[in-house]
A and B are shown apart, each in its own frame.
Chain A
Amino acid sequence: MSGLKERLERLRASAMAAQAAEKRDEAESTEWSARESASSPTSAEEAAKLHPAFRRLGVEECTNEAGSFLLRRIVYPYPYRHGRYALEDLRLCAPHLQPVAWRQNRSDKKKRWVPETADEFPAPEASGLLFLDTETTGLGVGTGNVPFMIGIGRYRQDAFVVEQTLIRHPGEERAMLTWLQEQFRGVTHLVTYNGRTFDWPVLVNRFILNGWRRSSAEPGHLDLLHPSRALWKYTLPTCRLSTVEEERLGIIREQDVPGSLAPELYVRYLGDGNPEHLYGVYVHNEKDVLTLASLAVHFGHLLGGGLGTAAEEPTDAEERFRTGAWLEQHGQPSEAERLYDLLAEATEQGEGGGEIGWRLALAAKYKRLGSLHRAVPMWEQAASLAEASRLPRLEAHLELAMYYEHRLKDFASALRYAESALGLARRRASLVRLSAAGRQERERLERRVNRLKRKLLREQLEKTAGFAE
C-alpha cells in the first residue's frame, strides 16, 4: 500500500487531467496557485496586527474575554435621509409596526390583526429595534455556513448608528458572538429581510456551536420580506431588497457589490489577507442595514395613516389593491376601503390597467359583501381582458354566467359567458397540460352550457306556447 500523501497526489493528478481535457487552454494559467496560497498570511499571530487598509475603512479591533474581532462603526446624525425617508422618523413609525410584529410573532398564525389582543404584543419602540443583516460564507442554513460579517443598525437619540463586525478568520467567531449577544440586551425585535428563515437560524447555529443554548428570551421578528411580498409580489419583477429600494424607496446604489459575491470575496481575503477585497462587502452590508431602516419607516407610514402624505400613494391599480388588502389585514379597514373605492371608481370609468388578478380578488370581496353592482363591472372588465389573454383565466366568465343565470334569469347572456368560458378552457388546454382539477372544471362547464341551453329552450317554448294560447 502506497503512502496516503502519494495517493492524494495521484487523486489530484487524475482530477487535474480530467479538467485539463475539458478546458485545455485555461489549464496553464490555473495551474496550482494553491502552492502560494497554502502559505497564506492569515495565521493568528500575523492577523493580530491590524492591516492599515482596515484603518482607512474606520475599522478597529475589538477585544473581549473570548478573543478579538474587527468592528466598524458609522454614525449618521439626524436629520439623515436614506432615499425617500428620514431615518429619524423611526421614532414615530416604529409603534405603527405593531400589527406586523403581532402577526409575525404569534404562535397560532392568526391572519388578521385584532386590536383587542394588542396587549400581548406591545407596540415596538424605535429604541428596541435591531436592524440586522449578515454576510455568510455559503448558502443555506446548515451548520457549516458561517456569517463572517454582521451588520446591525440602531436608532439612537441623535443619530442612526450602524456597526459591522468582521472576523479575520473563523477562530474569531466566539468573540464576535459574545459581543453580539451583548448587543441584544434591550432589543425587542430584529428587523431583517428574510431574517426569520435565514439570518436568524444561521446565527442560532453559531451560538449553539459555540456552547450557548436557546432561551425563551429571544427577540421577536420584524421580517420586512413578508410585507414587501404582500405589496409588491405582483408588481415588481422580484422582491429582492435591491429591487424594492430602487423602485419604491428612491435609493440608487452605485457600483454595488452584489451580496452573492460576498462569500467569494471573503475567501479571497482569507487567501491573501488583503482587506481591500472586502471594501465592497462593507459598503453593501452597510447600505442594506440603512435600507432596512428606510423600509421600516415606509411600512410605519402606511400603517400610521400616512398613505398619500408621508408615503406615496400607489398609482398602479394592482399595487393599490394589494396595499388595500394588506392594510385591511393590519387593522386599517377604512384606509383599505378608500383604496377599494378608488379602484371601483376607476372600473366604472373603464380604467384600472391590464391586470386581471386584483379585479377578480376585489370583485370576490364585493360579492361576499353583497355589492354586486360593484363586482359585475369588474368581472366584465376581467372577462374582456381574459379573452385577450394568451393564457386566459375563466373565473370572471364563470361568475358572470352564474350572475346572469341565477340573479337576472337572463339565460341567453349566461349562455354566452358560459360558452366563451368553454372556448377559453379549450385554448388553455392547448397550451398547458390539463390537471385533474382543470378537467373537472371543463366537465362542469359543459354541464352548465347544456343546462343553460335546456333552460333557454324551455323558456322559448313557454313563450311560444304563451302566444299560441
Chain B
Amino acid sequence: MTGKTESMEEWLSQLRTNKEIMENVTYWHTQPARPSRTVVLPEEVHPKLAQALAAKGIRELYTHQAAAFRSVTAGRHVVTVTPTASGKTLCYNLPVLQTLLHDDSARALYLFPTKALAQDQVAELQELANLMEADIKTHTYDGDTPPTVRQAIRNAGHIVVTNPDMLHSAILPHHTKWVKLFENIRYIVIDELHAYRGVFGSHVANVIRRLKRICKFYGSSPQFLCASATIRNPKEHAERLIGEPVDLNDDNGAPAGEKHLVFYNPPVVNKQLGIRRSSVLESQKLAGSLLKDGIQTIVFARSRVRVEILLTYLQDLVKKELGTKSIRGYRGGYLPKLRREIERGLRSGEIRGVVSTNALELGIDIGQLQACVLNGYPGSIASTWQQSGRAGRRHGSSVTFLVASSNPLDQYLIQNPNYFLGTAPEEARIHPDNLLILLDHVKCAAYELPFEDGDKFGEEKLSDLLEFLAEEKVLHHVGTRWYWMEQGFPAHNISLRSAAQENFIIIDMTAGHKVIGEVDRFGAPTLIHEEAIYLHEGVQYQVEKLDYPEKKAYVREVNVDYFTDANLATELKVLHIDQEAQEGPLLRQYGEVTVTAKPTIFKKIRLRTHENIGSGPIHLPEEELQTSGYWFSFSEEETAKRSANDMQMALLGLANVLVHLAPLHLMCDPLDIRVVPQVKDIHHKRPTIYFYDRYPGGIGLSQRLYELHGELLKEAGRLIRGCGCQSGCPACVGPIEEVGLLGKQLALSLLDGLRVPS
C-alpha cells in the first residue's frame, strides 16, 4: 500500500467524522463480513485435477461449486448465480476438465460476450492444464485468431473459447469444418448470462437455437453450463435463452469482507429551482479523496462523455501525488491493446484509479479494488451490485459510494434507500421471437441446414415463416424440405449487436492519420456530428468532418472549455393496434409504430458550470424505425379542462418522470426505451404519451409497459409528490425553464384527474 491511511477501516472512521460529507449521506448500509462455507472435494474428482487444484491452494470446494458439480454429473443443465469473485468459473471448469481427463475425444465450447473475457479464460484453463500435465488444448477462436492455426483448432481443440458473434458468422455457417467438435461436444459453457438481454440477448437465444440444431444434426446433445451475475430471474432467463430446463445454483459459499454502501446526495445549491450540486463534481471529490489516500478506486460513470470529463478532473486533481498515468479511463471505444494494458495495470496495482463506463461491469479480470464511486445510479439494481462488486475483497472492508445525479430516478432511490435495498434485482428480459430477429435467424439456420416440414424453431409457427421466405425467393420448397436458395451469405448482413458491425471509426488528424477509437451507429448522430467535441482519454477533439457513408469521423485535437450535447427530433405514426383498454378518461393501447428521428441541433455546454454557451445545426439523414409501442391518450373532456399550453407542460412533466421510471421496471438500458409526449398526436388528435422500443420490430419492452401501466402511473405520482422542490426540478418533472412555474402542479393535477389510486 502506498497510502497514508493505515486501512480502509481507518479511512471510513475518518469519513464518519467529516461533517461536510456526512451531511449529504442519506443512508449508510453495512453488509457484515460473511464466512466461507465449504465441502470436501468430491471423491470422484480425477486425481490429476485434484492435484492441480491443490497446487493452486484449492483443497475444498465452496458449496455452490460442489452443487454445480453434482448437477452436471447428474446430466442436468445448470445456471450458477453468485456475486463477483466467488469462484464462479470453477463451477463449470471443474466438470468440463473432469470429463476431458477421462475422454480425450470430448469437446467443449465456451461462449463469452467479449473477446477480452475469452482471453482471460483461456489463460486460466491453460494454467490448469499445465498443472495437471494433461494434453488439453484450449484456444480462443475469434477475429484475432491467425488463419494458420484455425484448422488445428477446428480439428484438435478440446475447448474452443469464442463469442456469440463468431459462432453466428464464422462457426455455424461453416459447421462442416467443425465435424470433430460438433460430433463430440459435451458441454456448452455460457458465462455472463445476464449480458445476453434485450436485443443482443434475443439474437443470442436464436444463435443458440441454431447451435442446438447443428449439434442434433451431428448426433450430439450437449449440456449447458451457465453462469450469471445476480438478476431476479436467472433460472427463467437461462431457460428462455437455451430453451431447456435448468437447475438453479445460487447457494453462495464464498466468503466476503465487510462492505459499506453509502448513499450520497449532492447538496442543494438553489432551493427554489431544486438545483443540486453536480454529481460529477461530488464524485470527483469523493474519488479524489480516496485516491489521495492511496486507496485503489474505480469510478463508474453512465456515459462516455462523463467518463472523459471525470478522468480529466481526477487526473488534474491528483497529478502531483500520483501522476496522470496512474489514473486511467476505460470504455467501449478504446482499442483492445490499450484496454489490456489498463487491465494489467489494475491487477498489478500500478494503476491506482480507473474511470469506466459499464464496460468494466463484466467479469474482466482487474483484481479486486477497495473502493467504488458510482457517478449516478447505473440504471438498474443488478448493475449497481455488479459495479459495486468491483470493490470488495474476501477479507478486509470495502466501500461503495452511490452519488445521485439530479435525474428523477436517482433522486427517488437516494431518498428511498429501502426501495433499493429491499427490492430484488431486475429481471433480464429477452424477446427471441421478435419477428425481424427471428426471421434473420431462420434464414441463417436454413443456410446452415435445410428445414424439414414439422421442424420447430422458436415459438412462432415456423411453417408461416418458411412460406414467407419462399415467397420472397430466399428459400425453395421441395418435397418436405426448405432449402436456402439465395446467392448471399445471410450471417454477414446480420449483426447480433444492433450496431456493432457499423461502427464509426474516429480518425485523429492532428499528426498524420491515426485511428483513436470508434462509436456505434446509434451514438454517431449525437456524439460525432460535425463540430462535436469528442473526448478520448481525457483529451478533447473536435469533429471536423463526418463521412457518413464511409462511417468515418475526422477529428483534430483542440483545447476548449465546453462539451457538446445534441438534440433529436422524433415523429411517430401508429401502424396497427394490437391491444387496447379504456380506463376512465384514459385510452391505452399497444401496437406497431413507425418512428422517424433526425438530429437537429447541438448545444455547447461550458465545462464545470454547465451553462449553455451556443449552438449549431446538425445535417444528417433521418432514420426510420418500425417497432412496437405503447401509448395512452387523454379524453376530450379531460383535455378541455386546461389550456393547450398547460396540457403541454403537464404532459412534458409527466413524460420526464416516466422516462426515468420505465427502465427501472424493465431492467433495460435507458436508451432502449424512448418516451415522446404529444399534445395533439397524428393518430388520435389528442394529448398522448408514447413509449417505443428502440429496436426494429420491438423487443417486448413496450408490451411489458402496457401491462405495468397502472403501477407506472402510481409510481410517477409518488415520485412527484415526494420531491422536496416547490414547483418542479430536474429530479421530478424537470426544471422550471422547461416545464414552467406550474409544471409540477399541472402534472399532478393531470394524474389526479385519472384517479390513479396511490
Contacts and interface: CB of A to CB of B under 8 A. Distances in A.
* Interface residue SS majority, chain A: helix
B488 A138 contact: yes
12 contacts: A5-B468, A8-B465, A8-B468, A12-B472, A34-B472, A44-B479, A138-B486, A140-B489, A142-B489, A144-B489, A169-B478, A433-B513
Contacts of A433: 513
B446 interface: yes
Contacts of A34: 471-473
A327 B122 CA distance: 47
Interface of A: 1-2, 4-5, 7-8, 10-12, 14, 18, 34, 37-38, 42-44, 137-144, 146, 169-171, 204-205, 208-209, 213-214, 263-264, 267, 270-271, 433
Contacts of A137: 484-487
Nearest to B487: A138
A142 B626 contact: no
B473 A170 contact: no
Given A8-B435, A142-B489, A171-B478, 16 more contacts: A2-B576, A7-B435, A11-B439, A12-B472, A14-B575, A37-B473, A38-B471, A44-B479, A142-B174, A143-B174, A143-B448, A144-B447, A204-B176, A209-B449, A267-B473, A270-B476
Interface residues of B, number: 43
Contacts, number: 102
B743 interface: no
B142 interface: no
Interface in B169-202: 173-176, 179
B468 A143 contact: no
B550 interface: no
Contacts of B174: 141-143
A138 B578 contact: no
Nearest to A206: B176
A171 B592 contact: no
B470 interface: yes
A137 to B, nearest CB: 6
Contacts of B490: 144
Given A34-B471, A171-B481, A10 B179 contact: no
Interface in B509-525: 513
A43 B594 CA distance: 39
B693 to A, nearest CB: 15
B478 A44 contact: yes
Contact of A208 (B176, B486, B513, B624): B176
A268 to B, nearest CB: 10
A271 B486 CA distance: 13
Nearest to A13: B575
B464 interface: yes
A179 to B, nearest CB: 19
Contacts of A14: 575, 594, 626
B450 interface: yes
B679 to A, nearest CB: 27
A205 B173 CA distance: 11
Nearest to B481: A171
B436 interface: yes
B460 A4 contact: yes
Contact of A10 (B465, B489, B592): B592
B149 to A, nearest CB: 15
Contacts of B435: 4, 7-8, 11
Given A44-B479, A170-B481, A139 B472 contact: no
Given A34-B471, A38-B471, A263 B626 contact: no
Interface in B448-493: 448-450, 460-461, 464-465, 468, 470-473, 476, 478-479, 481, 483-490
A44 B479 CA distance: 6
Contact of B575 (A10, A12, A142, A267): A10
A170 B478 contact: yes
A197 to B, nearest CB: 12
Contacts of A7: 435, 592
B592 A270 contact: no
B4 to A, nearest CB: 45
Given A38-B470, A208-B176, A170 B460 contact: no
Scoring A4, A5, A139, A144 by chain B CB atoms within 10 A of each residue's CB, the highest score goes to A144
The 6 closest A-B pairs by CB, nearest first: A144-B447, A170-B483, A144-B484, A208-B176, A138-B487, A169-B478
